[in-house]
Amino acid sequence: MKSIAVRIPEVLARNVAGFQGERGREWLGRLPELVAEFAGRWELTLGEPFPGMFYNYLVRAVRADGTGAVLKLGVPGGPIGSEADALRAFDGRGCVRLLEADRDGGAMLLELIEPGRTLDEVEDDDRATRYAAGVMKRVRRPVPEGRSFVTVADWSRGLNRLRKKFGGGTGPFPERLVERAERLYAELLASVTGTFLLHGDLHHGNMLSARREPWLAIDPQGVVGAPGYEVPPFVRNNLSGSADPARLVGRRVCVLADELGLDRERVLNWARAEAVLSAWWHYEDDDPEWRRAIPLAEMIGSVRLTA
């Protein structure tokens, strides 16, 4: 099989090998052939790869009809499969369109979003938060029949793995922090009145300015849960430049809850619980970010809402 010259960024190689093991290393070795295979199958002229590739390989492309697109390749059997399923379900509503997909091959052809600036570039935080709320409302949809998606309850069981890892204790994670997250997940999940298919990772970098809608989401994980569970990744993102991050988190929670028609305190509790789970996921993936994620979770746990 022919191959195409492919430069694999160091961070992509490290992450894929670290998270996917031998399967990931084999995929990296085959990547030039895979790029050539799907470029040929979907009649693509390839352009420049995208910067900032961490878990998947992305390259600009032009289709036979002259329209722009994005070729995205990931390790088969990994998250790229569930992403393809979610994109099919969202069908372009509030989200990038899926043009072609080979789930078993770990390949997707996506709509090229232009101008494509991320929500990070909107300096006014309230304005960015309202834009995010608009995307959250657009992308949320009833759970499709006949398709299986991971649930928030499934995700919450990550805290069971934390306990198992440390023999029933919490290791480097503060006991009170883990206990509260466990309690909040139990209470929130027991009182959910309606679930939807959610994006699952809607932070600033996963929303791009577009022409057919003002902002479109990319990289969905596709999780079934209560609408309030869409909020946490956004509220804990881009806080490093704030003089008062707790106040900023509280402000974002209030704006998003009001825009989405949700209870503010309940949304904050989802954020409190999810921040601990996110810290555990970093630890579980051997990502040093977990050391910063724990203080972040503690800070979010300290947030108090004001009118």
> If we measure between CA atoms, which residue out of 286, 300, 301, 272 comes closest to residue 156?
272
Residue 134 neighbours by CB distance under 10 Å: 17
Helices and strands, counts by H and E, the chain: 10, 10
Amino acid, res. 5: A
Of 201, 219, 285, 286, the catalytic one is 201
Q: Which pair of structure tokens corresponds to residue 25?
A: 């290393």
Phi and psi at residue 237, to the nearest 5°: -100, 150
**First and final C-alpha spacing in the chain:** 63
Which ranges of 121-207 would DSSP assign to H, the alpha helix?
125-139, 152-156, 158-165, 175-190
Check if the beta carbon of residue 44 is closer than 8 Å to that of residue 67: no
Amino acid, res. 169: G
Report which DSSP code applies to 140. -
* 104 part of the active site: no
Give the span between the Cα atoms of 232 and 269, in whole angstroms.
9
Q: Which pair of structure tokens corresponds to residue 47?
A: 């352009």
Q: Which residues contact 205 (CB under 8 A, 6 or more apart)?
A: 118, 119, 120, 237
Q: Which residues are catalytic?
A: 201
